[in-house]
Structure 1
């Protein structure tokens, strides 16, 4: 009975080059194809069945070897740490105090997450430029006590960080985009005044505050749109830049249609002025005679805090 073997690997042929590449890259050698037995040689079977199957097998082995070589030796970089269970009065200085040595110097950015009333949600994102420092910070902060609360820390990649911000803000109204972007550019110099009667106007409040505090002058404010409010409703409105005229006071949208109080963001020239305004206004009762509106009978107790 005649034996029909696979085509020999001639020097310089494509198959010999592939096998050489596999051996050079440390991939498993390709086993020699099994000899098929036929009563009569059938060249059509050899050309259409045996050879293409071998070529596909060798190509798959070579591709797998190259993928193993091209595979990055380092894991995905995790440079963001999500902090939760933070006290509502936590500041960037408090978070930086939890880091030590080079880790503290590498802490590039701290972003606090807020509720719809612009109050701290107890969560923040600490961003580093070095993945090793981010991991060290997570291990150091996990379980630490800050303001009577046990802080929780979790590493995040850049993609997971964006998804985390979208899940928190994207379902909000697009009206919150400007206040959040304003915090990004002027953090530490903005003061949030809450529980002020809804009938109060921006111009009237700014007129009274400007005589005692150093506020920003009215100008055309431009800034990049980076916040995610309204992203789930209309992705076309995300991106680009703001181009609005802002003064020293910005009135925030109503928390709900029947709200009788509102909140304002006061834009101070410096962090010193912002803290001075908070010390003077926090936990004080709103004086209606000062703003020429209806008598409130002490129902409105103002809460003031710095936005970071």
Structure 2
């Protein structure tokens, strides 16, 4: 009986030439990691996840290469540190010129997406309602807030260098409480008017204290388009007087307002006071400012020779 031998490639311990070539090429070619072709920027944009911490694997969405190192430095958990970052949606600007407008602040953003993400601009005022050169910009996204901070910091506006600092929503409340919390409660309506009618309000300063609202409104209504007397309702959003009495905050105003609102005197011996004029449109407010700024109030009644120019009116728009 003749025994047939198996072909050489099929004998035990022998490999087929094709398999042998594949194994040799695999031994020569190093293994390729999925991140081997990742660019340095893409690797740094994802926070490294420690081994064995699957619960924190979703925290890599925060674009910080030192995410876990920063969380450890602040002494908080990664999840708490992420919540802190997501609340950083406000940017405090300082060093602004007193004539800055909301358009000037939006122009600080280098991208249109960042400028369109600006949800709110709040200028900080003194008790005389003069701009302090500070403004708090609220954004809709924490990513755009960081981009706006980087764009605005160090920029020149009106010959002055602007400083930008990122703040959280909790810092925003503490900032306004520290700024306006101990002010008289009579500032609530003026600040809420600025909130809802920004750009349409004109502040007239250095007007004689004995001037009545009705008399000034009658004088302005013949030449300017101001709002008529009506019932005004709006949510209370100002922190003025909050530290003295927080009752009613978050509720609604229910007042009867006309086209002119008289403000309280800054001190008991003041001979002048300020008025807020409510115009129908921003263009009408600008027209009133051009006509009244640096003019004398009723020069026929208050003679400049007798008053020494005490009643020289200063007009500006409230934003």
1:95 aligns with 2:97: no
2:160 to 149, 153, 161: 149
2:297 to 278, 286, 302: 286
Query: Which runs of at least 4 in structure 1 moved beyond 4 Å after TM superposition?
Result: 24-27, 67-75
Rounded to whole Å, the distance in 2 between the matches of 1:219 and 1:258 is 32
Give 1:203's aligned residue: 214
Once the 2 structures are TM-superposed, how far is the Cα of residue 228 of structure 1 from its aligned partner? 0.7
Contact 1:231 1:237 in 2 (8 A): no
**TM-score normalised according to structure 1 size:** 0.75
Q: Secondary structure at the match of 1:76?
A: helix
Once the 2 structures are TM-superposed, how far is the Cα of residue 238 of structure 1 from its aligned partner? 2.5
Unaligned runs of at least 5 residues, structure 2: 1-51, 56-75
Q: Secondary structure at the match of 2:175?
A: helix
Once the 2 structures are TM-superposed, how far is the Cα of residue 25 of structure 1 from its aligned partner? 6.1
Give 1:180's aligned residue: 191
Contact 1:106 1:129 in 2 (8 A): yes
2:227 to 185, 206, 216: 216
Once the 2 structures are TM-superposed, how far is the Cα of residue 68 of structure 1 from its aligned partner? 6.8
Unaligned runs of at least 5 residues, structure 1: 1-23, 28-66
Contact 1:286 1:298 in 2 (8 A): no
Q: How does 1:102-117 map to 2 (within 5 A)?
A: 102-117=113-128
Rounded to whole Å, the distance in 2 between the matches of 1:152 and 1:106 is 20
1:229 aligns with 2:240: yes
Give 1:76's aligned residue: 85
1:246 to 257, 278, 289: 257
Rounded to whole Å, the distance in 2 between the matches of 1:72 and 1:100 is 28
Rounded to whole Å, the distance in 2 between the matches of 1:74 and 1:230 is 30
**Does the C-alpha gap of structure 1 residues 190 and 73 become closer, same or farther in structure 2, counting only changes over 3 Å?**
closer
Rounded to whole Å, the distance in 1 between the matches of 2:94 and 2:81 is 32
- Equivalent pairs, count: 245
Give 1:192's aligned residue: 203
**TM-score normalised according to structure 2 size:** 0.72
| CA RMSD after TM alignment | 2.4
Contact 1:134 1:155 in 2 (8 A): yes
Once the 2 structures are TM-superposed, how far is the Cα of residue 159 of structure 1 from its aligned partner? 0.4
Give 1:122's aligned residue: 133
